[in-house]
Amino acid sequence: MSDFRQDFLRFALDAEVLKFGEFVTKAGRTSPYFFNAGLFNDGAGVLKLARFYARAILDSGVAFDMLFGPAYKGIVLAAATAMMLAEQGVNVPFAYNRKEAKDHGEGGTLVGAPLAGRVLIIDDVISAGTSVRESVTLIRAAGATPAGVAIALDRMEKGSGEQSAVQEVQQQYGLPVVAIAALDDLMNMLQHDAALHDVLPAVAAYRARYGIDAAQH
């Protein structure tokens, strides 16, 4: 596990964005861990989170010309990540959408730079893929090209079928998905941290039941 992925998971744990216990997911599954990127809600937290996004994006080698943040969580993520990329010498424009079209002023649902070229979508997680689908539609309607999706954590968990939501996005749209960390990285952390060993059996059992095959990921 590369250092920045481990550092990210530690950061999420310290911020209580990543928690262990018993949680019910949207799919009705009882999960031994919970990750809520919405809890990165202060200046220092978002700053550090954006640095991890920038690092993961640049390490991935995905080619892009601008960022797009789906409302609402993606708005802050796209703006903050653009700032951190600029610090790394990669200055790109960003845009985001409104949930409802504005009927005065400039109007429309899009805010920020015009959608053009290769557009990288920034979001917190991919659950049902709805946000990605809406973003891809907006980007293509503007004549631009979706370049990929960057997320904070890939749970590597089956959806309604045998594939994960991430795999479905990759297959349906042919887009690369860049995750700062994935369930594999979390398992690795649990295996190598004596203080977290008691959590490992529950996470391993959950993965055995709902996880996808990492070889197919």
User: Cα dihedral angle (74, 75, 78, 79), rounded to 10 degrees?
Assistant: -160
- Whether 102 sits among the annotated catalytic residues: the reply is yes
Of 55, 205, 83, 182, which Cα lies nearest the Cα of 125? 182
- Whether 48 sits among the annotated catalytic residues: the reply is no
- What secondary structure letter does DSSP report for 213? P
Choosing from 19, 26, 73, 102, which is the catalytic residue? 102
Beta strand 145-154 pairing with 177-182: parallel
146 forms beta bridges with: 119
Half-sphere exposure for 211 (CA within 13 Å, toward CB)? 19
34 forms beta bridges with: 19
Taking the alpha carbons at both ends of the chain, their separation in whole angstroms is 16
Choosing from 73, 99, 104, 217, which is the catalytic residue? 104
Distance CA 138, CA 95 (A): 11
* Helices 130-141 and 165-173, axial angle in degrees (round to 10): 20
Question: Which two tokens mark 4?
Answer: 């920045």
Catalytic site residues? Answer: 102, 104
